[in-house]
Each structure stands twice: as C-alpha cells, then as structure tokens.
Amino acid sequence: MTQEIAAPQPADTVSIGSLPRRILGLIPGLLLLFVIGYAGKLTQSGIKAYVTANHITFPDIEYVLWAIIYGLIITNIIRLPKVFKPGVDTYEFFLKAGIVLLGARFILGDILKLGGVSLGLVAIELAVAIGLMVVLGRLFKLSPKLTSLLAIGSSICGVSAIIAGKGAIEANDEDASFAIAAILALGAFGLFAYPAIGHAFHMSDQAYGLWAGLAVDNTAEATAAGAIYSDAAGKVAVLAKVTRNAMIGFVVLGFALYWASRGQAKGVENKAGFLWQKFPKFILGFLLISVLATVALFSSGQLASLGNLSRWAFLFTFAGVGLRTDFRELRKQGLRPFVVGAIAELTVSVVTFLLVLGASSVFGL
C-alpha cells in the first residue's frame, strides 16, 4: 500500500540502460495521455461551437478540466490497466518540459516584476503554512516527522518537497505516504474549488493565477488550477509556483538541520551542495528560454510555436493529473492527516487570497 501511494511519483532519474525496451513500454500510456488530453480539447471546442451556434449562454470550460475529469473517470471507475502506468507516469516530464518552454511567453521584465511580488508573498505564505501546520500537528497528535513533511509539502511543493524532506529528515515511508496522500487529495479538490471561487470574486487573470500558484501545493495541480481559469492565469500560476519551488532547498535544509540538531537525522555538511542538489533545475531552463526570448533571439512566429509546444506538453500533464488521482488509495491512508492538511490548506488559501487581493490593489494586478 505504501509503495502504491509512492508509485505515482515517477522516478526522478533516468538511466540510459535498455532504452528501446523502456521506450516501447511507455507507448501505451503516452497514447492514453494524448487521447485524454485531446478529448478534453475537442470537448471544449465542441461545446463552444454548439453554444455559439445555438445562442446559449454557457461558461467556456477550459479543456484542462475535461481532461482531468476523463482521467479521474478512467482511474476511479473503469480502472487503469497496468500496461498504461509507465507512460502515464511521464506526465511529470511533460510538466517540467512545458514549464521550460513556457519561458518563451515571459519577457524577463515580467518575471522580475511578478516574480518579485510572488517572492514577497511566498515568504509570508511559507511562514504561515509552516507555523500553522506545526501547531495543528501538535494539536492532532500527529507524529512530529509527519508534521514536518506536511509543513514542507503545504508550504512549498507538494509531493516533490515531501520526498526531498523524507530523505533529509529520515522520516519513514508511512509518514511520507500519509503526507503525500493528504496533499494530493486536497490538490484534486482544489482543482474544482479554486476556479469557482475565483470567478465568484471576479478575480483578474493575474490575481487568480498568483493565488493558485501560492495556494495549490502540487506543481501539476497548480498549473492545472491556473489553466482551468484561463490561459493567462495559467501562465501566472506557473510563475508563482516555480517561485515557491525555488525555495525548496532552503525549507528542506531548515528542517534537516532541525532534526539533525535533535540527533534524529544525519547532519548536512555541505549546505551549498545540498541547496544546489534540491534546487529544481527546470527553473533554470525556464529562465534561460525567457532570457533568449527577451533578447529577441526568436521571431514572433517562433515564440508562438514555443508557447504552443508548451501548451501541448501541458495537455499531456493535465491528462496525467486526472489519471494518477486514485481516490480509493488516498482513502486508505486514513482521515487524521487529511483533516490536518485540510485545515491548514484552508487557512493558507484564505491568507494567500487576502494577500493577493492586497497585492492586486498595491501593484495593480
């Protein structure tokens, strides 16, 4: 059971051995990702054409939501055959490649401005999320290391941060599974709740994207939550989220040093090396592409192509988000970590919502 929950996180390393066999094994899942993602796209355009032709007022629901729903139906009702799993697990690769390519849609000035605002809000969000999770963990008598993992996951980056934290603080597999399950379940719920709330409050694309990027923990789900609202909001959500992700090394290092000082984890000798190892390298790719776009290396047509490639990569990602969310497995992990995570997430959502509203009026988002 523990391994099944850990399984959705694809291996973070790729070796070149037996490459042809590995590639063949990926094909069924890759095809499924494409079919589901494209079905979402066709659903959106089909509905739009129908309501336009018949003069019906109906919200334009982004293909992202349809792709996720189809994926959820397949995994939770029909059941995903094992042959598709290796290919479906590649969705994380497409997410990261998509984010790198997304750099073409930002000039550096935009990144510096929005990134600067995000960084300030991220610092506040980190403090609130970590502090709150620690208090709640003690209140609900969760194991201290599980509490640390939930704090890491809810403040930074969901599953990746929890896995990074698990190794650094020497938490056990069970605690890591609880934390991952809680974060993923809440993220799945957030995909539907956040856009609805954003529309109810008539948030601008920038403000909503900032909120989604700050509040949703898993990068794929933050990207999806933004893109469900609008294409523009999706861009901003990614930028806010990668700003949070960039902090992963510092937060995990902090917890590692804390547990080492209590004699319950190995000390960190090379802190700079630790920070570099934990830093999400795809952010460097994102910044590089943005710099190249800013210095006008690409023509406007080429930039548009890069942007569209990013969208195609995300199409695979969003299909994967739905397909890998198995509510039965999440339910097996138990209610208590989920309740703690839910309370903390709700509070962080409210706090970041208020922060974004404040930032909107100050910075004119």
324 is a site residue for another protein (CB under 8 A)? no
Site string for another protein, 46-85 (x = CB under 8 A): ----------------------------------------
For another protein, the closer of residues 208 and 282 by Cβ is 282
Residue from 365, 332, 68 nearest 218 by CA: 68
Site string for another protein, 140-179 (x = CB under 8 A): -----------------------xx-xx--x-xx------
- Amino acid (1-letter code) at residue 204: S
11 is a site residue for another protein (CB under 8 A)? yes
Report in angstroms how near the CB of residue 113 gets to another protein at its nearest: 24
Task: Find the binding residues for another protein in span 282-301 (CB under 8 A).
Answer: 282, 284-285, 288-289, 292, 297-298, 301
In whole angstroms, give the CA distance from residue 111 to residue 291: 10
Cα-based angle 217, 220, 222 (whole degrees, multiple of 5)? 50
338 contacts: CB under 8 Å, gap ≥ 6: 181, 182, 185, 186, 330
Report in angstroms how near the CB of residue 227 gets to another protein at its nearest: 13
**Residue 172 in tokens:** 């056990």
Buried b / exposed e over 259-270, threshold 16 CB at 10 Å, is bbeeeebeeeee
Cα-based angle 298, 302, 308 (whole degrees, multiple of 5)? 130
Task: Find the binding residues for another protein in span 99-118 (CB under 8 A).
Answer: 99-101, 104
User: What DSSP state is assigned to residue 141?
Assistant: T
Report in angstroms how near the CB of residue 238 gets to another protein at its nearest: 14
Helix axes 300-323, 91-102, angle to 10 degrees: 150
Report in angstroms how near the CB of residue 231 gets to another protein at its nearest: 10
Report how many residues bind another protein under the rule CB under 8 A: 42
Stretch that binds another protein, among 79-87, 119-127, 276-284, 354-362 (CB under 8 A): 276-284
Q: Provide the 10 A C-beta neighbour count for residue 110.
A: 15
120 is a site residue for another protein (CB under 8 A)? no
134 contacts: CB under 8 Å, gap ≥ 6: 147, 151
Per CB under 8 A, the list member of 36, 64, 91, 92 interacting with another protein is: 92
Residues contributing to the site for another protein (CB under 8 A): 10-16, 92-93, 96-97, 99-101, 104, 163-164, 166-167, 170, 172-173, 280-282, 284-285, 288-289, 292, 297-298, 301-302, 304-309, 311-312
